[in-house]
Structure formats: C-alpha cells, structure tokens
C-alpha cells in the first residue's frame, strides 16, 4: 500500500482555514484525496465547483451522491479569491457532475475561468470536467473560455467502466476528448486512469492507445484506493516497477506529459506535468472513429 506523507507545521491548517472562510469546496477534501495534506502544506488545492453533491454515484468516488442544490452565483468569485490569496500560479478547477442542469454546469466553468483570469491574469488554468452527457455545446463553451489544459478522466479500462462509473460511457469519454481536440487543437487535452481495480497491463495499454488516438496529450496513472468498505474494493497494489513500465509505454506512444505512480492523481502536481509537455507535437489522430453520443 502506498505511503502518504503528512507535512509538519501549520501550513496545511492555514490553507484549510482559508478555504473554509471563503466557503469553497475542494476535491482534495470531498474525494478524500490521499495527497491533500501534502498539497495543503504547499499552499495549493484543486477547487471543486457546482457544490459538493453529485448527480452520479460512481463506485470508486467518495463525493456525496444525491440531489444538488441550486447553482451558487457567487462561487466563481470566491474560487478566484481563494486562488489569489493562496498566490497560485496554476489553478485546477473540477466539479461534481450536474446532470440536472441543461448545460451540465458548463457556464459555471466559464464564469470561474473568467473570474480567475480577472484576479490572476498570468496564472495557468486547468479544468477537469465531467462528460456533459456528450453535449458538444457545453464542451465548446468551456473551450471558448481558453483554459490552459482541458482534462476529462476516462478513469478505468473499457471492461470495468460499467461496474465503476455511474451513467458514464467509455466511448463517450473518448468522444469528449476527441471533440475537444478537434474544436481547440491549441488547448492540450488530458486524462487519467486508476489501476489496481482488476485490469490487466494489456488493457491499460489499450486504454492508453485509445486516449492517444483521440488526441489526448497528457496522462496520469495512479493507484486506486477505496474510500470505504462500501466502495469498489481494491484488487491489487500495483508495483513501482509496473508504474514505471506504464510510464515508459505512455512516453513511447508520444504523450507529451506523463505522471505514473501509486499516489498520482489527476491534479497532483498538475502544473509540473503540464509544463513538461512538448507543445505542437501532435500524433497521427484517429478521432473520426469516435463520435460524441449527444449531438
């Protein structure tokens, strides 16, 4: 089982207190990320917008499922203020899934990007979005706001997707990434895979190849850790050697930025992973083989 580092001193407590004072949610806390104390200790966090209740109930995720409240109009401003007070140079924004909203919450992403830019004009902004049920209008709206990186996690291999991801589709996730690449090829696309759930190395490699074929340029691979006994169980703890092998495969496939390791999560050291990418080195794409499900 991977070891988690707990930082000494009060930096983590100060970060947590600041976020609480501004009433902003973080995926670090809501999803019980194992790296949250390290990141808080460095004075950084991954913001989660559109509340803290998700309309889906994925079996790997600790975020509370249920019926969300109304969209908070003041949330984008508070997120931007939090990022500014933390002095962030790279801001990562994700959300719960809001299938109850006509646009899936895309407008809230746009407003949050705009507010961050207003207070931190030089900061990089990475968005980690849900699939928006494949609605290309929502994807386009977020991309028109010009985030630095567009991230959507495929989470697991095709065979295990129905068991782990509520109301989600492996092909739809590929389609979202492929459409994002075609619509805004200047904005790098990113995705993440959890391992240790019951997949084989060959299935992980096939998933990498699918992501690469859809224009995905940045990849994270990390160990799945069950949030509770009620969640999907861990099948195995993947060895450091296997993570190194996945890293090598991804680099050989031409991913511009790769992070592979037991405690790697989608937004962990995101600015460093994105910074290692080689701008403009796109693959020979096969995006036409994948269609966005909802026109």
**The pairing of beta strand 46-49 with beta strand 25-26:** antiparallel
Q: Are 135 and 176 in contact (CB under 8 A)?
A: no
Angstrom CA distances, 240 to 58, 160, 221, 294, stand at 27, 23, 12, 39
Q: Is the pLDDT at 32 greater than 60, yes or no?
A: no
Quick one: which of 202, 192, 212 has its CA closest to 287? 212
Quick one: which of 126, 169, 156, 168 has its CA closest to 257? 126
What is the b/e burial string over 257-270, where b = at least 16 CB atoms within 10 angstroms of the residue's CB? bbbbbbbbbbbbbb
Question: How would DSSP label each residue in 149-198?
Answer: EEE---BS-TTTHHHHSTT--HHHHHHHHHHHHHH-TTS-EEEEEEESSS
CA–CA separation, 19 vs 97, rounded Å?
21
Which domains occur in the chain, in start order? Answer: 11-289 (3.20.20.70)
CA–CA separation, 235 vs 121, rounded Å?
44
DSSP state of 237: -
Interval 142-162: pLDDT, tens: 999 999 999 999 999 999 999
Interval 48-107: pLDDT, tens: 899 989 999 999 898 899 999 999 999 999 999 989 988 888 899 999 999 999 999 999
Interval 174-229: pLDDT, tens: 999 999 999 999 999 999 999 999 999 999 999 999 999 999 999 999 999 998 89
Q: What is the mean pLDDT of residues 164-183?
A: 96
CA–CA separation, 290 vs 176, rounded Å?
9
Q: Are 268 and 259 in contact (CB under 8 A)?
A: yes
CA–CA separation, 191 vs 253, rounded Å?
15
Total-model pTM: 0.85
């Amino acid at each position: 089982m991977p070891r988690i580092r707990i930082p000494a001193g009060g930096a983590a407590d100060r970060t947590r207190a600041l976020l609480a004072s501004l009433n902003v949610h973080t995926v670090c806390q809501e999803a019980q990320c194992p790296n949250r104390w390290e990141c808080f200790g460095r004075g950084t966090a991954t913001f989660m917008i559109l509340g803290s209740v998700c309309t889906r109930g994925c079996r790997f995720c600790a975020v509370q499922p249920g019926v969300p409240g109304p969209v908070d109009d003041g949330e984008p401003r508070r997120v931007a203020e939090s990022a500014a007070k933390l002095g962030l140079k790279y801001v990562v924004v994700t959300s719960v899934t809001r299938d109850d909203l006509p646009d899936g919450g895309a407008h809230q992403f746009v407003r949050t990007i705009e507010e961050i830019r207003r207070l931190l004009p030089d900061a990089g902004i990475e968005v980690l979005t849900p699939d928006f049920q494949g609605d290309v209008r929502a994807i386009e709206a977020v991309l028109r706001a010009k985030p630095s990186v567009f991230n959507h996690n495929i989470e697991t291999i095709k065979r295990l997707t129905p068991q782990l991801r509520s109301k989600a589709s492996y092909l739809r996730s590929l389609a979202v990434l492929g459409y994002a690449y075609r619509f805004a090829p200047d904005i790098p696309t990113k995705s993440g895979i959890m391992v240790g759930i019951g997949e084989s190395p060959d299935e992980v490699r096939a998933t990498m190849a699918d992501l690469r074929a859809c224009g995905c340029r940045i990849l994270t691979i990390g160990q799945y850790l069950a949030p509770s006994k009620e969640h999907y169980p861990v099948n195995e703890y993947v060895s450091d050697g296997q993570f190194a092998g996945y890293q090598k495969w991804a680099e050989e496939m031409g991913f511009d930025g790769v992070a592979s390791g037991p405690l790697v999560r989608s937004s962990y050291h995101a600015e460093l992973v994105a910074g290692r990418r080689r701008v403009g080195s796109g693959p020979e794409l096969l995006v036409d083989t994948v269609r966005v499900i909802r026109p």
